[in-house]
Amino acid sequence: MAGPPKLGKSYFVLSLIKQISEEDHEVFYYAGEDDARRIQRRMKELGIDSKGIFLHPGRDAPLTVDGKKPIDEIRAMIEMRPKIKAIFIDHMTLILPRKANPKHYDDFVHELKPWSDLANNCNVSIFMVHHTRKENNEAEHNPFNSILGSQGIIASFDTVLIMKKATDGNGAVLRVTGKDVEEKEYRLSKQKLSWKIEGLESVASLGSTQAKIHAYVKTNPNSSWSDIKTALGVDGAQVSRTIDTLLRNNIIEKVDNRYKSLL
């Protein structure tokens, strides 16, 4: 998962950790830029029980000792604690080898493959946090181009998430793509400190009239244009424009001059 600084990625990670631990699975969390006091404070704020959560604060101690690689340390942890089902690395660059020159596609693929193999061989999920570049037109056209580094990063993960501020200023948007998932965008709302997935971004970003018409069609499938106009008391021309927008964005569909929701 990549996103800009200070958006709340760490709290999003802790929200996931809380859900996993509440299902009686163990978790390993490497917080490379935090100390134990900060992590424990955040966990307390979110009501997270530390039982079954193995923390490694990077500010207090390095992940590796005696020249071992980070992946060797984590493999040893998994072997000692077979109930661990998720590994969280915040953030990715802290566990990859440093290089004086910019890394290219092959560099990232080569460095990340052992982590993919570890996840598959040990039946665990490995979730890494990363950063995005400053937004530009190219990144907006394809948000996954905003991931800092090369396309080798995207190619190395089964699932890739982009977290960004919502354009309407209400919360954030989480865009998901991957080898085994359908590409979608979800609206995140801030719950004091943590994040909650409210639903699809295409619905959350609807204007007031669009939201009313979509809600009516969803509740009353196979509604006609006149049904919508009469029930909502909306001007006919506005109903037509709104329906066209909802159709164009694949939020509703039209069959025999009647409408139903696709979401």
Q: Is the dihedral of CA 127, 128, 129, 135 positive or negative?
A: negative
Q: Quick one: which of 260, 210, 218, 204 has its CA closest to 238?
A: 210
pLDDT score of 124 more than 80: yes
Q: Where are the domains of the chain?
A: 2-204, 208-261
Q: How far apart are CA 91 and CA 94, in angstroms?
A: 6
Residue count of the chain: 263
Q: Quick one: which of 135, 148, 146 has its CA closest to 108?
A: 148
Lowest mean pLDDT among 14-28, 30-44, 190-204: 190-204
pLDDT given for residue 149 in this prediction: 78
pLDDT given for residue 204 in this prediction: 83
Q: Give the pTM.
A: 0.81
What percent of the chain is modeled with pLDDT above 70? Answer: 97
Q: Does domain 208-261 bear CATH number 1.20.1050.90? A: no
Q: How many CA atoms lie within 13 A of 129 on its CB side?
A: 25
Q: Is 226 exposed, middle or buried (0-12, 13-18, 19+ CB in 10 A)?
A: exposed
Mean pLDDT of 139-158: 79
pLDDT band at 65 (very low <50, low <70, confident <90, very high): low
**CATH code that applies to domain 2-204:** 3.40.50.300
pLDDT score of 54 more than 50: yes
pLDDT band at 196 (very low <50, low <70, confident <90, very high): confident
Q: How far apart are CA 59 and CA 34, in angstroms?
A: 5
Phi-psi group of 12: left, alpha or beta (phi > 0 → left; psi -120 to 50 → alpha; rest → beta): alpha
